[in-house]
Chains A and B, each alone.
Chain A
């Protein structure tokens, strides 16, 4: 009998394969961040499929490998919606599906300004065993992830997460700051967190030839993220923080590869996180779907 994670993985890859057949590819220009968001949204009608992983060391427990699949769609030039499936393997324990997330990002201002705000709203339905660490909030710490899967998966969380994304690009440098407020809908206090990042392509001019190893295809930077306590105990006390170099490689064959080793900055943090991801953007996905259903592309 096929279990649920295997079935979902099969569905994911069948869906991805079908997209290869119907959509037109285009080279993406992705940011290298894993946690921080800049103010750039998905192009309208484009779909990006992404798989990402986080390997984490765990004191007082087993190391883990958490992973997520991401569907990011540009509904309009000012609204991007994303859907995530999360899972994780804790070594010497088990592999489990840990939940889903639905995220929306809305651009507030029509034009570029000195600082560009984007509103972020996310609903999460995840179990206590979720370890993708896509954001750090409240008093999240390494000890939370030491709970064995068999116990942690019993806890279910319906969480609302709001972020204000501020970002600016100047002379090739992108500087982004995210402020996070999250609330477990089961009568828990608001929790807070932050993420900041800076990145730049290795070359600003594009070369005239199509190439994989041109410097402009690589974007490198640094991000830092962590918790800021909750409504009752706001601040840095009993929170965890990470510093992570990031690099992205935008291939002309429409793939983006990303890598980020992260380092815990205090005793509450995991000592080491290694993240990697692979993404492919499908331009014209919306038009392709419209054609399938006989609508106006």
Chain B
């Protein structure tokens, strides 16, 4: 007869292996997809919400304090992003509505590593939105652009057509 202690050990090892596999699958998923795309998934009602602290003179400073406490580890001290999380100065973020940012903060992007921040009371999440919207937008392509390079057609629409792409027909 099998010893109970050995049996328990085997169950524990199997459970640990399953959890590790789940973690690895999650990490793979997180590296492939764009977190920016999640902003577009905000329901229209949520995206249309206005920031109730928009005219609060302390909202940006309070939001900066909250950002330093909770967000800099992944988004960087200057919100320019890093290996774990994207830049918050990117056009995708800066052009989003306050409501969409609030929705994303509330729900997180759990499969891609962004935690749910509904544990912060609602006014604090709006303060964070105020701070994020106060950031100077990035002038250079965001870190995410490397994963999703601009196509030739997009480049032509965004800027003057580069000379070397123009073919002169005699």
Q: Determine if chain A interacts with chain B.
A: yes
A residues neighboring B (CB under 8 Å):
24, 26-27, 29, 31, 38-41, 43-46, 74-79, 81, 104, 107, 110-112, 121, 123, 158, 169, 171-172, 174, 185-186, 201, 204-210, 216, 252, 283-284, 287, 296-297
B66 touches A206 (CB 8 A): yes
B78 within 8 A of A: no
A104 touches B107 (CB 8 A): no
B interface: dominant SS: helix
- Chain B: interface residue count, which band? 35 or more
A residues near B19, Cβ cutoff 8 Å: 75, 79, 81, 104
B124 touches A204 (CB 8 A): yes
A-facing residues in B41-77 (Cβ within 8 Å):
53, 58, 61-63, 65-66, 69-70, 72-73
* Given contact pairs A76-B113, A171-B122, A205 touches B108 in the complex (Cβ within 8 A): no
A interface: dominant SS: loop
A201 touches B121 (CB 8 A): yes
B118 touches A123 (CB 8 A): no
CB distance from A104 to the nearest CB of B (A): 6
Additional A-B contact list (4), CB under 8 Å, known A44-B115, A172-B122: A78-B110, A110-B107, A112-B116, A209-B65
B residues near A112, Cβ cutoff 8 Å: 106-108, 116, 118
B residues neighboring A (CB under 8 Å):
4-5, 8, 12, 15, 19, 22-23, 26-27, 53, 58, 61-63, 65-66, 69-70, 72-73, 83-84, 106-116, 118-124, 127
Residue of A at shortest CB range from B114? Answer: A77
A29 touches B119 (CB 8 A): yes
* Given contact pairs A27-B69, A169-B118, A206-B127, A77 touches B83 in the complex (Cβ within 8 A): no
A residues near B8, Cβ cutoff 8 Å: 158, 185
- Total number of A-B contacts with CB less than 8 angstroms? 112
13 A-B pairs, CB-CB below 8 angstroms?
A: A26-B70, A27-B70, A76-B113, A77-B110, A77-B114, A78-B111, A79-B26, A107-B110, A123-B12, A204-B122, A206-B62, A206-B63, A206-B124
CB distance from A97 to the nearest CB of B (A): 19
CB distance from A205 to the nearest CB of B (A): 4
A residues near B107, Cβ cutoff 8 Å: 110-112
A205 touches B70 (CB 8 A): no
B residues near A208, Cβ cutoff 8 Å: 58, 61-62, 65
- Most B Cβ at <10 Å: residue of A78, A79, A171, A206: A206
A residues near B116, Cβ cutoff 8 Å: 39-40, 77, 107, 111-112
